């Protein structure tokens, strides 16, 4: 028969209702990216979110659900915006690619969300269902969006004839790799080896231009 102790409730003024789950997933994203899923203790997530261990369970059924929420919620709005942007654009296809790459960097690459790809790559095998979701909702739509721009460019005579799927991957690869790098090995590299994303983007876009020009 155990004696149970207190439960000092924190003042809640000045907290928007339901900001809580977002604060938790933000904390969880940071820690999962930093340490990986298994090495992240729920207690640490709670501490970083400014709440207690038990409070997590008011919002998420268990650690796995927190993980899923981190992945799912991180992607809903940014992705939609990117796709819309691509579909509405009227200018040249190369300009569109530039906008996409730069928008991607601004909205994801330079934010904590840039940690998601690393997270999914690390845990895909342990969360196949979630990996499937990620592939279906992020990877393939993203690839298709780029591939469509390539097709558009070819159709308009702006690009030479290339296989759009492969081109999409070649276009995305450097950006993705930088995101992975910055969320993993970057901190251990000498500063001299560090990559300046702005410079890289410029160089990359020039490569793309040359590779696609008719």
* Alpha carbon distance 112, 210 (integer Å): 32
Q: How far is the CB of 202 from a copy of itself (least distance, A)?
A: 9
Residue 77 binds which entry of a copy of itself, DNA, none, CB below 5-8 Å type-dependent: none
3-state class of 201 per DSSP?
A: helix
Nearest to DNA of 5, 90 (CB atom): 5
63 part of the interface to DNA, by CB under 7 A: yes
H/E element holding 100? helix 93-104
Of the candidate spans 45-53, 100-108, 185-193, 203-211, the one that interacts with DNA by CB under 7 A turns out to be 45-53
| DSSP label at residue 138 | I
Of 11 and 91, which CB lies nearer to DNA in the complex structure? Answer: 11
Binding partner at 112 among a copy of itself, DNA, none, C-beta below 5 to 8 Å by kind:
none
CB-based contacts of 19, cutoff 8 Å, min separation 6: none
**Residue pair 18/73 in contact by the 8 Å Cβ criterion:** no
Give the integer Cα–Cα distance in Å for 63 and 65: 5
Binding range to DNA, per CB under 7 A, among 41-49, 161-169, 176-184, 188-196: 41-49
> Which residues of the shown chain bind a copy of itself in the complex (CB under 8 A)?
1-2, 13-14, 17, 34-39, 64, 118, 120-126, 128, 131-132, 134-135, 139-140, 143, 162-163, 165-167, 169-170, 172-174, 176-178, 180, 184-185, 187-190, 193, 195, 199-200, 203-204, 206-207, 210-211
Closest CB 197 distance from DNA, rounded Å: 33
Check residue 42 for interaction with DNA (CB under 7 A).
yes
Candidates 202, 37, 3; CA nearest to 105 is 202
Q: Are 27 and 60 in contact (CB under 8 A)?
A: no
The answer to whether the CB of 52 falls within 8 A of the CB of 58 is no
122 binds, among DNA, a copy of itself, none (CB under 5 to 8 A by kind): a copy of itself
Nearest CA among 65, 25, 74, 61 for reference residue 45: 25
Contact set with DNA (CB under 7 A)? 2-13, 20, 39-43, 51-55, 57-58, 62-64
């Amino acid at each position: 028969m155990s004696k149970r102790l207190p439960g000092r409730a924190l003042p809640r003024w000045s907290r928007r209702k339901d900001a809580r789950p977002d604060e938790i997933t933000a904390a969880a994203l940071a820690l999962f990216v930093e340490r990986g899923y298994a090495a992240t203790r729920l207690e640490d997530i709670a501490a970083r979110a400014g709440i207690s261990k038990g409070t997590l369970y008011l919002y998420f059924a268990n650690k796995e659900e927190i993980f899923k929420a981190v992945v799912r919620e991180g992607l809903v709005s940014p992705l939609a915006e990117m796709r819309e942007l691509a579909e509405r654009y009227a200018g040249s296809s190369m300009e569109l690619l530039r906008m996409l790459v730069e928008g991607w960097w601004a909205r994801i690459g330079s934010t904590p969300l840039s940690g998601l790809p690393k997270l999914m790559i690390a845990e895909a095998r342990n969360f196949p269902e979630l990996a499937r979701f990620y592939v279906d909702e992020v990877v393939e739509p993203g690839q298709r969006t780029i591939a469509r721009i390539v097709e558009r460019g070819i159709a308009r005579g702006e690009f030479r004839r290339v296989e759009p799927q492969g081109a999409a991957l070649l276009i995305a690869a450097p950006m993705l790799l930088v995101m992975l790098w910055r969320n993993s090995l970057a901190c251990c590299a000498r500063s001299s080896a560090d990559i300046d994303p702005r410079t890289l983007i410029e160089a990359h876009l020039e490569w793309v231009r040359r590779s696609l020009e008719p």
